[in-house]
Amino acid sequence: MEIDPLTDTIMNIEVFAFIGLMVWLYFRTENEEGDGVDD
């Protein structure tokens, strides 16, 4: 099965964006987010 290069690029950009979002969420400080976890 072949994949269209544009589709491939778009699908991987989505993954890169997701990874970026996860890294940002992990390192985001609690003051910015109003963290819901109890102390």
- Residues near other proteins (CB under 8 A) are 1, 3, 7-8, 11-12, 15, 18, 22, 25-26, 33-39
**Least gap, CB of 22 to other proteins (angstroms):** 5
Q: Return d(Cα 38, Cα 7) in angstroms, integer.
A: 43
Least Å distance, CB 15 to other proteins, is 5
Close Cβ partners of 12 (under 8 Å, ≥ 6 residues apart) = none
27: amino acid identity, one letter? F
Query: CB of residue 2 vs other proteins: minimum separation in angstroms?
Result: 8
